[in-house]
A and B are shown apart, each in its own frame.
Chain A
Amino acid sequence: MPADEPGPADEPGPAEEPGPADEPGATASPRYHFSYSKDSPYGSAVGLLARHTHVPGGLVLDVGCGFGAIAEPVRELGLVYVGLDLEPSGLADLASRGFESATIDLRDDASLATRLGDIVAGRRLAAVTALDVVEHLTNGDAVLRAIHDLCVGHGRPPLVVSIPNVTHVDLASKLLIGRWDVTPTGLLDETHVALYSPERIDRALAATGWAEIGAADFPLVRSDQHFPVDAAPIAATPLRELIASIRERAAPGATTNQFVRAYAPVAAVPGETALVEHREPDPLPPFLTVVLVALDSSAAEIDDVLVALDAQSVAGFELVVVAPGPSAADARPLEHALAPFSAGLASRARVVPGPRVATAGPGDPAGRAAALSVGVRAARGRFVTFLDGRTVPFAHFVETFARLAEQRVGAVLRSRAISQTTRVVTWPDGRPGIEAVSGAEPASVAHFGLVDHVATGGSPAGSYAIPRSCFVDLGLGYEGACPGLEEDEILARAAMLCGVAEDRDRAVVLGRVGAPDDTSPSGGGDRGALRTRLDASPLLLPTGSLAALAARAADRDPGAVGAVGAEVAALREQCAALREQCATLREQCTALRAEILALRASTSWRVTSALRAISAAVRSIGRDRAAP
């Protein structure tokens, strides 16, 4: 029932009229005798009726009407209100106020459409409402279908529903401290048998033949579940702020109390099951999606990157090439560039239309952000990494990420980049090209630390891969909000929430940096602005951060240098020992490989090949040894 009633100040007291839980299908109970207010879910529902009914003087069937809180405002819209419920007290009340009413039993969904048709009795139907109804029903989908059938046969009037939201941030906060407070009314009304998230509402209505035509969701920053008020996840604390910032970014509805929506009857979406969650996971997601942004890159640069991707030591990745523009002509040169890679890469690659954004010219960060966003939307991989024509991966690029992902599930995967200065030239045969003009330099900092990252960067694109869940589940995305540094911002946010699995020994990507006389775009961006954006909500620092921060402070103290030096020496010793260990393991590995080769030749290996495909992507394969 509408949860806009002021909630209890602290613990919920006993309900005003506790009584037994209602019979399913009979929703009108004195406890739900709410009055109408414009500033309530009822007001939102009446607003939708005003916008979406087009039959002057037509009927509004209020299914599960209770005491008919919207009866008078509906009449004021020039419509004829008819209240329908099983509970006689509400119907009697309506009759006493001069409104038509009738008894229906929503449990009897088989004859519901007929019954509703009988009530309409040849009159013109303007709308049907079902306010705070479906969450009380175990047969909600059948009821929605019956209403759909009625509406299809009566001029296709709209349906307006109002449904409480169990993904309100208050409930998320309370689950953190193990609380699930069922109350007589409100978000966790004790008679609710079906709990709705925004996604479930979309699915339920689509499955029963309804297309959304209007929304007037009722927001409440503090829901009726906003207690106990002094608990850290509830009160105005850093913890609450952190939870709220994650919840708000992740999906809509963080502070929505009640979904109030209008729908038009259409054909049901086949295969959807209304009330049961069945989000199918991608059965065989690639381990990694490499998003290649073609914007601002020359054909020669893109060709180089494609060759380098074709040379990867493991194949468990897909390639999404984002065209520089939205037209087929933008995509065609890239498709032509990919086509000759007929033995594998081409079949794992897709060229997707680029964004339709007006950019200020080459290097405009808005164009890049929009292209990254397109790439993320097209990605299917568990992780996403980003390349452009100026980042050439080494052959162990994907393999390194795969190894890191095995070590730590769900973390940002980070390796290292090196950079080389290049310049645009005309090749001897007259074609435009590029050439290196310097040796290679380290381009990544050794260790990812949030403070350093925000201050100076040091993790170039291509040297890390972000769990796609960060985009899909946590709502991170490239929106162009932090020009030039948005990739650093997303990496920072992802790193805070997911942690970072690092490979510090090897460079996986070569960044080609324009020579000083080169006019190609460069990064830039306002690091102060980045800091301000990240500082707008509490930061989550990984375990061990305090020691790191203390060491950082100590670094500034000349007296501490010696101590750090000793620490470095000790670490070096540890490293040497680990290398020893590593060599032994490599030997064992070689022996095992021989066994694997023998096994591969066996029948069972071939028979089980399909089963292994899933894990093959993340299994590291031995490094190529250079033949003379």
Chain B
Amino acid sequence: MIPISDRMLAFASYLRRRVDDAGMAPLAVLGDADAVPHGTEIALLPGPPDLARLARIAASSGLGCHLAGPDFALLDRLDPSAVGGAPDGFDVLAIVTTYNEADIVGGLVERLVGDGLRVHVVDNWSSDATAGIVDELSRTGRCTSERFPSGGPSPHFELEALLRRVEDIAAHSGADWVVHHDADEVREPPWRGVTLRDALYAVGSFGFNCIDHTVANFVPVDDTFDRDDDLAEHFSYFSFGEAPGHFLQQKAWRPADGPVEMASSGGHEARFDARRVFPYKFLLRHYPIRSQAHGEQKIFRERRARFSPAERARGWHVHYDEIVDGTSFLGDPESLHDARDLDGALLVERLSGAGLAGNPFPGEGPARAGSTPGTERVAAAGSERVRHTNDTPLVLRVQSVLYCPPPGGVERYLRAVGQAVRVLTLARPEISVDLALADNSPESTYDADAVERLRWGFTGTGLRSMTYDHLPENPGHGGAHNALLASDAAHADLVLLLNPDTCISPRLAVELVTTLRDGIGIVEARQLPLEHQKAYDMATGDVGWASGACSLIRREVFEKAGEYDSSSFFLYCDDVDLSWRARLAGFRVVYQPAAVCFHDKRLSAEAAEQPSRTEVYHSGLARLILMTKYSRPELVGPQFDAYESSPEAVHQEIAREFVRRRTEGRLPAGIDPDNVIADFSTYSYAPLRFDYAR
């Protein structure tokens, strides 16, 4: 097996999001197998590229390898050389916004023009020589320019108004592509040797109309930069942008595909209806500070004073807040990345931003296991991605208890969990999802490699962590769940209890989470193919108890009502007991039939259930214990007599065990003395809609 790193998992998550958003065929992540699913448009091959294998796969799939790093290769049909260079009439407009960039603006315009781009400079009333340089360039026909606001300088730097102006220029430009460009940037396509103009032409011909970027912030390590030096040649060390906004840099688009709105995102995201973002990010080399003197001038004397208070209140322009007087703007090469690695060791980060600190997209950030969600998610909360939700970060933990799973059975369950996590984390980015498995089998089902393989299966789903704990002493169903809850370092807000013989709907988690409103402690899913026969309130969804096969529980339920009563119940009825205690503690228990959980129950051709002896024994014993616990001695007696006098050996065994426990004082103390909650009116502990037993 090829070991897959967190970084590669994050890369796969990124690619999966992109191909989905673009409506492409699902991403194929190839492990050991060479088979590429028919119709695949992008395949990721983790591990050092093996040329012979690549050639073989390429030949059989019709895909080609145009991007590869030391630890991965991509196969796709996105071959810029096949498209050829941009034709003469292909018009790319760079809209360059400037404020006091006299040391670089001349070089920038010359470089863009040299690359075949048309340049329009919007100068925000620079107080240095920028305007004069731009005027001279305009006069010689190198670019066009304007000053903004047209009526004269504003007291503050009003970014939103400037961005609206850029939107307007783009919409009326008639250009094939627009690049929104700051003066202190250099843009590079992902492929070596392809110019920006040719790359934009290729991206358009592949059917995409928007380009995202990865930000590399270059840092001076000395004070040797001279006016109009080549930025890319002069600066060699950088760090990746770590602010949430650095992971949303959609700054090049085809204006013909719709009016673009970018001001509301502070210029980070070009929003338009028909947007189809190219799956690989371009590189945005950013040179905000060129020397110590430049840094001091720019930040302390020019920028801070000009930021609009209204925009700062929106959370914009806060990136210089932590810089205090005396700060050195010169970096230490030892603590920075080398730009040469952008084509090699850092190609994953360059193409996707995957694995980088601060990446707010679910599953695309740094190492998943063990990371604390709060900090990253809080940071993410300010990003564009989650702007639309005002929810606080939440952790949802999926918990399952295995017992001697059959080959293949658990993989199906995990696959379905992965799908549901993916849908949940896309729909509700504020929720982080962990998965915890307990294994009550006598022998451990999975070794470390096998667990790693299972983790592999969650590539791209957004799952944050997965743990597997073998509990050889078999503490029973509830006992294992209790052990998992105790081991939950993240203190999950929500716990999805799920049987491993299930296959949940991709939308299950979203449906359950959405239903868990205030006052509701537990939400139960609808089971397929055989619905549970309990009646529920058709108007409110309230139900007597929730099956532990698939229910979402608020953590407060465990805190206020207690955990599973594993000393009383080994199998069966622990979910009835937990639900009733939750209701006693004031929580509502509701049924959400729109949340679908396939529970692999099978019937004979005569439509009969075939319970095993274990099922009969534990459910019968649990019934006597439940009656005892809920203070119904008048029911315990007849039920006990029925078991004791039954000709069935298993029933007699139930009676003997009950006596044993009573003798040893191991029966639970009575609760619900007024019989407010417990319902023993049917064998299912609730009124029935219908009856499977015929």
Nearest opposing residue in chain B for A463, CB measure: B605
Given the known A-B contacts A346-B26, A396-B602, are A627 and B529 also in contact in the complex, defined by CB atoms under 8 Å?
no
What is the CA–CA distance of A435 and B532 in the complex, to the nearest angstrom? 10
Q: B423 touching A340 by the CB < 8 A rule?
A: yes
| Inter-chain pairs besides A624-B405, A627-B403, 14 sampled, C-beta below 8 Å | A303-B507, A307-B505, A308-B528, A313-B408, A342-B20, A343-B415, A343-B418, A427-B592, A428-B592, A435-B531, A442-B605, A442-B606, A625-B404, A627-B501
Select B591's contact among A428, A439, A622, beta carbons within 8 Å.
A428
What is the CA–CA distance of A430 and B592 in the complex, to the nearest angstrom? 11
What is the CA–CA distance of A436 and B423 in the complex, to the nearest angstrom? 27
Given the known A-B contacts A303-B505, A341-B506, A428-B591, are A395 and B598 also in contact in the complex, defined by CB atoms under 8 Å?
yes
CB of A278 closer than 8 Å to a CB of B: no
Q: A622 touching B530 by the CB < 8 A rule?
A: no
Q: B603 touching A418 by the CB < 8 A rule?
A: yes
Q: A506 touching B531 by the CB < 8 A rule?
A: no
From residue B56, how far is it (CB to closest CB) to chain A in Å? 11
Select B604's contact among A425, A436, A437, A506, beta carbons within 8 Å.
A506
CB of A221 closer than 8 Å to a CB of B: no
Select A342's contact among B407, B506, B537, beta carbons within 8 Å.
B506
Could you say which interface size class chain A belongs to? Answer: 35 or more
Interface hit among B260-268, B555-563, B635-643, B685-693: B685-693
Q: B693 touching A624 by the CB < 8 A rule?
A: no
Given the known A-B contacts A311-B503, A311-B600, A439-B693, are A628 and B476 also in contact in the complex, defined by CB atoms under 8 Å?
yes
Chain A proximity mask over B660-687: 1 for CB below 8 Å, otherwise 0: 0000000000000000000000000000
User: Can you give 6 A-B contacts (C-beta < 8 A)?
Assistant: A303-B596, A340-B506, A435-B593, A439-B533, A621-B407, A625-B404
Interface hit among B28-36, B163-171, B356-364, B484-492: B28-36
CB of A392 closer than 8 Å to a CB of B: yes
CB of A444 closer than 8 Å to a CB of B: yes
Nearest opposing residue in chain B for A417, CB measure: B605
- The total of Cβ contacts below 8 Å across the A-B interface reads 193
CB of B276 closer than 8 Å to a CB of A: no
Chain B residues with CB under 8 Å of A300's CB are 594
CB of A330 closer than 8 Å to a CB of B: no
Sorted nearest first, the 8 A-B pairs with minimum C-beta distance are A340-B506, A311-B503, A428-B541, A624-B409, A440-B607, A311-B598, A416-B605, A628-B477
Nearest opposing residue in chain B for A300, CB measure: B594
Chain B residues with CB under 8 Å of A346's CB are 26
What is the CA–CA distance of A418 and B571 in the complex, to the nearest angstrom? 29
Select A418's contact among B540, B607, B689, beta carbons within 8 Å.
B607
What is the CA–CA distance of A571 and B418 in the complex, to the nearest angstrom? 47
Chain A proximity mask over B397-419: 1 for CB below 8 Å, otherwise 0: 00011111111110010011011
Q: B531 touching A442 by the CB < 8 A rule?
A: no
Q: A431 touching B419 by the CB < 8 A rule?
A: no
Nearest opposing residue in chain A for B403, CB measure: A627
Chain B, range 377-408, C-beta contacts under 8 Å to A: 400-408
What is the CA–CA distance of A310 and B530 in the complex, to the nearest angstrom? 16
What is the CA–CA distance of A277 and B114 in the complex, to the nearest angstrom? 60
What is the CA–CA distance of A446 and B355 in the complex, to the nearest angstrom? 58
From residue B604, how far is it (CB to closest CB) to chain A in Å? 6
Chain A residues with CB under 8 Å of B692's CB are 439-440
Q: A311 touching B407 by the CB < 8 A rule?
A: no
What is the CA–CA distance of A609 and B537 in the complex, to the nearest angstrom? 51
What is the CA–CA distance of A613 and B38 in the complex, to the nearest angstrom? 14
Q: B528 touching A307 by the CB < 8 A rule?
A: yes
What is the CA–CA distance of A341 and B409 in the complex, to the nearest angstrom? 18
Chain A residues with CB under 8 Å of B401's CB are 627-628
User: By CB atoms of chain A within 10 A, which of B39, B403, B406, B423 has the most?
Assistant: B406
Chain A residues with CB under 8 Å of B570's CB are 628
Select B529's contact among A308, A597, A626, beta carbons within 8 Å.
A308
What is the CA–CA distance of A300 and B457 in the complex, to the nearest angstrom? 28
What is the CA–CA distance of A447 and B515 in the complex, to the nearest angstrom? 46
User: By CB atoms of chain A within 10 A, which of B35, B594, B598 has the most?
Assistant: B598
Chain A residues with CB under 8 Å of B505's CB are 303, 307, 310
Chain A residues with CB under 8 Å of B536's CB are 428
Given the known A-B contacts A303-B505, A438-B690, are A596 and B407 also in contact in the complex, defined by CB atoms under 8 Å?
yes
Chain A proximity mask over B493-533: 1 for CB below 8 Å, otherwise 0: 00000011111111100000001000000000000111101
Chain B residues with CB under 8 Å of A339's CB are 20
Chain B residues with CB under 8 Å of A392's CB are 528-529
Q: A627 touching B499 by the CB < 8 A rule?
A: yes
CB of A580 closer than 8 Å to a CB of B: no
Nearest opposing residue in chain B for A428, CB measure: B541
Chain B, range 468-491, C-beta contacts under 8 Å to A: 476-477
Q: B405 touching A342 by the CB < 8 A rule?
A: no
Q: B403 touching A340 by the CB < 8 A rule?
A: no
CB of A304 closer than 8 Å to a CB of B: yes
Q: A610 touching B538 by the CB < 8 A rule?
A: no
Chain A residues with CB under 8 Å of B529's CB are 308, 392-394, 510
Given the known A-B contacts A307-B596, A311-B503, A427-B593, are A342 and B605 also in contact in the complex, defined by CB atoms under 8 Å?
no
CB of B52 closer than 8 Å to a CB of A: no
Q: A429 touching B592 by the CB < 8 A rule?
A: yes
Select A507's contact among B20, B407, B591, B607, beta carbons within 8 Å.
B607
Chain A residues with CB under 8 Å of B477's CB are 628
From residue B501, how far is it (CB to closest CB) to chain A in Å? 4
Chain A residues with CB under 8 Å of B604's CB are 505-507
Chain B residues with CB under 8 Å of A624's CB are 405-406, 408-409, 412, 501, 600
Chain B residues with CB under 8 Å of A13's CB are none
User: By CB atoms of chain A within 10 A, which of B404, B572, B600, B607 has the most?
Assistant: B607
Given the known A-B contacts A395-B600, A440-B692, A610-B34, are A622 and B571 also in contact in the complex, defined by CB atoms under 8 Å?
no
Chain B residues with CB under 8 Å of A579's CB are none
Nearest opposing residue in chain A for B499, CB measure: A627
Chain B proximity mask over A138-175: 1 for CB below 8 Å, otherwise 0: 00000000000000000000000000000000000000
Nearest opposing residue in chain A for B28, CB measure: A347
From residue A396, how far is it (CB to closest CB) to chain B in Å? 6
User: By CB atoms of chain B within 10 A, which of A436, A442, A510 has the most?
Assistant: A436
From residue B538, how far is it (CB to closest CB) to chain A in Å? 6
Chain A, range 333-348, C-beta contacts under 8 Å to B: 339-344, 346-347
CB of B324 closer than 8 Å to a CB of A: no
CB of B422 closer than 8 Å to a CB of A: yes
Chain A residues with CB under 8 Å of B48's CB are none
Given the known A-B contacts A428-B538, A610-B33, A624-B600, are A344 and B690 also in contact in the complex, defined by CB atoms under 8 Å?
no
Nearest opposing residue in chain B for A510, CB measure: B529
